[in-house]
Amino acid sequence: MTVAKPTLEIPRSPLHRLPGGSQVIVAAFLLAGCVFLAIGSARSALFAQETVSGLASGGIYASLAVALVLIYRATEVVNFSQGAIATFTTYVAWQLMQWGISYWPAFVLTLALAFVGGIALERVAIRPVERASQLTVVIVSIGLLIAIEGAVGWIWSSQIRFMPSAFPIHPIHLGGVSFSLEDVGTIGVTIGAVVLLWAFFRFTKIGLAMRASATHPDAARLVGVRVSWMLALGWGFAAVLGAVSGMLAAASPSVLLQPSMMDGVLIYAFAAAVLGGLESPAGAVVGGLAIGVTLNLLASYVGFVTPQLLLPAAFVLMLGILLIKPSGLFGRPKVRKV
Amino acid sequence: MNALLELEGVGARYGPVTALRGVDLTVEEGEVVAVLGANGAGKTTLLRAISSSVRRSGGIRFAGRELGRRSPEGTARLGIAHVPEGRGTFVDLTVAENLRLGAYTRRGSMRDDLARVHSYFPWLRDRARQQAGTLSGGEQQMLALARALMQRPRLYLLDEPSLGLAPLLVAEIFRIVEELNRREGATVLVAEQNANAALRAADRAYVLEVGHVVLSGTSDDLARDEAVRRSYLGY
């Protein structure tokens, strides 16, 4: 006689982990992009060089984009002040170095200050409008953008400064190709920061509580999670990523240290976040790298694309994504109940 | 002796709509108490008032302490596990992560708690890495209950655990509630439309109509009551 099967044994569908149709297309699309870059890099030293420096700028966009996604996931609000916060923390780093602290200690100290500052900013400026409509929060974030940029100009003047680079200028040679060590270092630091953050969310209890609070705040409260503080922590982490992005961007000769230095980067980061789907940190990283490489290759290979055209190109890209696939590469389509 | 949970003249309103008025209710330690009533009778609001998820008037004492103006998370930390209507499962987290969140407010190893949870829900063991959103409705309800177990609460608030489930699963869930009560002396306040299933598991019950208690007594008495039988038991 066979033992009666427990009534609740519902067979696990082998399909539940298989990606859906659109994910297959996205994966194929990304794979094709990687193959294109690999073949191009193998055939041309210049192409390889431009790819790497595109990835470096992409890393800068990616960390700011992840900062945007962190806050968007929790509040469904795009934080327009993210770039200004990054600028402010970069000036802090510069000031620390002016006081004689060497690069890496100043870097780490700045990240710590950014974390505390991000939390404080949330408590002071966002907490009072926590229950207000999203539009209110957006307006507050635009207000912060103006106030912080103003504060930067007021404290440090709007004179252009030179931010030292963490990495030596001399290139490294690999095969017949020479890469700038700064590009390679920038890629390393941004990827490192994002991986650390991912590990925090994936493996720690607070990270888990933050993820739960972002998607199901009410249920999270019922298990004792202090949801409002999780939001503040999110602002802290976003400020840290912004600081990473700002410090690396300011070292680049095309950006330099000035109060409006992150305005352009913020646009690219928006485009990256939108491309990635706004809700997905992994999407923001892929989006950032893709936009960095695409724009860099466009500028060096397509004749009429001058550096002045790159910002409009990012806008066109953003518009295109929003028209064709508003949920981006990794986002889930949202059903809105009316 | 003081009851674990004492409600005195509890009321709640959503804007101009009164959802609850003058509710007196007690739950003793180790009791299973059911709150019966039709849709819109105020069962969900009652549980939400107890877990501080909704603004309320009147007094609630839990374990000898006035709840006052506590936040929902503060109330949860006192030892009240509220499994909301519609389960409140974290659908985009894995089963294991849902359980870990149950133990969020406690320090130390969860091994004993997991073993305890798996003794009630053995099938959860193999599903640890599965995304909770891919579970069936009944499984999600059980996961929500399992997560409440991880909280090791002094009081379980279960909001309509039978909602949308097949009769077999409803019976299974109430069997687990009874087992929890028998094995651990768990105290449970369960809101249910399914009066049959609830009265079988509960020691006592309250009947809610348009926001206040119209009847209360032991489950046996209520099950024999003419009015209850006609309105809620269907015979």
Q: Which of B65, B74, B36, B68 is nearest to B55 (CA)?
A: B68
Q: What is the CA radius of gyration of chain A?
A: 22
Summarize pLDDT for A232-289 with one digit per residue, the tens. 999 999 999 999 999 999 988 778 898 989 999 999 999 999 998 888 888 999 999 9
Q: What residues of A are in contact with residue B139 (Cβ under 8 Å)? A: 8, 10
CA within 13 Å, CB half, A119:
11
Which of B47, B101, B125, B152 should one mutate to test binding to chain A, selecting the residue with the greatest count of A CBs within 10 A?
Answer: B101
The residue among A23 and A281 whose pLDDT is bigger is A281
pLDDT exceeds 50 at position A13: no
Q: What's the average model confidence in pLDDT over A289-315?
A: 86
Nearest residue of chain A to residue B84 (CA atoms): A219
DSSP B2-49: --SEEEEEEEEEETTEEEEEEEEEEE-TT-EEEEE--TTSSHHHHHHH
Read off the DSSP letter of residue B186.
-
Q: Is the pLDDT of residue A194 over 60?
A: yes
Tokens, residue A12: 């696990």
* pLDDT above 70: percentage of residues in chain A: 92
What is the structure's pLDDT at A230? 94
Longest dimension (CA), chain B: 52
Cβ–Cβ under 8 Å, residues A215 and B92: yes
Mutate to test the interface with B, among A223, A225, A229, A231 (most CBs of B within 10 A): A223
Banded model confidence at residue A21, pLDDT cuts 50, 70, 90: low
Out of A7, A9, A225, name the one closest to residue B168 (CB).
A7
- pLDDT digit string, tens, across residues B97-148: 999 999 998 887 888 899 999 999 999 999 999 999 899 888 999 999 999 9
Report chain B's mean pLDDT, rounded to a whole number: 90
Residue A7 with chain B: CB contacts under 8 Å: 168, 172
Look at residues A273, A284, A234, A251 and name the one whose alpha carbon lies nearest to residue A90: A251
- Encoded tokens for A113: 């200050």
A to B CB pairs, distance under 8 Å? 82
Interface test with B, best of A9, A222, A227, A280 (most B CBs within 10 A): A222
Q: Quick one: what percent of chain B has pLDDT higher than 90? A: 63
- Decide if pLDDT at A299 tops 70: yes
Q: Which tokens hold the place of B19? A: 């959802």
Contact B118, B152 (CB under 8 A): no
Task: Check whether B63 has a pLDDT greater than 80.
Answer: yes
The whole-angstrom separation of Cα A80 and Cα A282 is 21
How confident is the model over A46-70, as a mean pLDDT? 92
Judging by DSSP bridges, how do beta strands B155-159 and B80-83 pair with one another? parallel
Instruction: Summarize the confidence of residues A58-76 as an average pLDDT.
Output: 92
Q: In which band, very low, low, confident or very high, does the pLDDT at A17 lie, cut at 50, 70 and 90?
A: very low
As a whole number of angstroms, the distance between CA B105 and CA B147 comes to 12
Give the pairing type, strands B204-209 and B32-36. Answer: parallel
C-alpha pair distances (Å), B138 with each of A7, A9, B144, B150 = 12, 11, 10, 19
